[in-house]
Amino acid sequence: MILRLVVLGLVAFMTLPTAVVVVASFNPTAILAFPPEGLSLRWYENALTYPQFRRAAVNSLVVTTVAAALALPVGTAAALALVRYPPRAPGLWTALLLSPLVVPGVAAGLGFLILAAGLGLLTSRVVLVVAHVVLVLPFVIRSVMVSVANLDPALERAAASLGARPWRVFRRVTLPLLRPGLFAAALFAVIVSVNEFVVSLFVSTRVTEILPVAMFTYVVNYTDPTMAALSTLFIAATFVAVFAADRVLHLARVFQIGDHH
């Protein structure tokens, strides 16, 4: 009973800020306040029609799509190499590939800023894309590594023994068996890239900024509930994506969470 109360308390503590943002987004007044004085959708309309948000949304779409498309094959190759052909000191290589998870965003952002300035790329999306690839790679590698570890090599050997060439074995046997991990990797790459803020703040301009940076710029200058409305749309989209992926891919099994024997 006590453990259930503790878990319930933790869930309430974690979800309370989100609930406050969602409720505040319906405030009809031009001041972000809680509890709201009524109900209105005017700030959702403002969030969807504000020119800076629309331009930033296009940038987010481009950067996220390219970053995920690049990170997926690179991360898959790294996961296969680490599991199937482990190099010397595999723990060191794994730690290096997963290091973006522990490097402070400010340090990473400053590093990319110095690199972009030195190469004269501050006004393009190239550095943004590279930064996002680096940041989402650990999630791709982790997802695919779990699927590779669960893959039975005997199935690939059976295909090879029947005359299939290595590339055909990889395309017709390995990739289909890795599909759940690949889909999960792509999902989390998209979610992480879409929501990435700290590093993007360092290497984006008014023209190339993505949506989280545009949201930060807006909230610095305005105090109306538009930001709460846009945040609610972000939360809803992320929840729907993860819920749908869990129903289709069974993410707990992909990430080996719990007992699934």
Q: What is the pLDDT of residues 176-212, one digit of tens each?
A: 888 878 888 888 888 889 888 888 888 888 888 888 8
**CA angle 252-17-64, nearest 5°?**
55
Q: pTM for the complete prediction?
A: 0.79
Say whether pLDDT at 123 is over 90. Answer: no
Which of 200, 192, 214 minimizes the C-alpha distance to 56? 214
CA distance linking residue 227 with residue 243, whole number of Å:
24
Which of 213, 54, 57 minimizes the C-alpha distance to 131? 213
| CATH number at 50-223 | 1.10.3720.10
The one-letter amino acid code at 229 reads A
Sign of the four-CA dihedral 189, 194, 200, 201:
negative
Mean pLDDT of all residues in the chain? 82
Peptide bond into 86 cis (omega under 30): no
pLDDT at 261: 46
Tokens coding 228: 């709460």
Say whether pLDDT at 254 is over 60. Answer: no
Any idea where the domains of the chain sit in the sequence?
A: 50-223
pLDDT at 70: 93
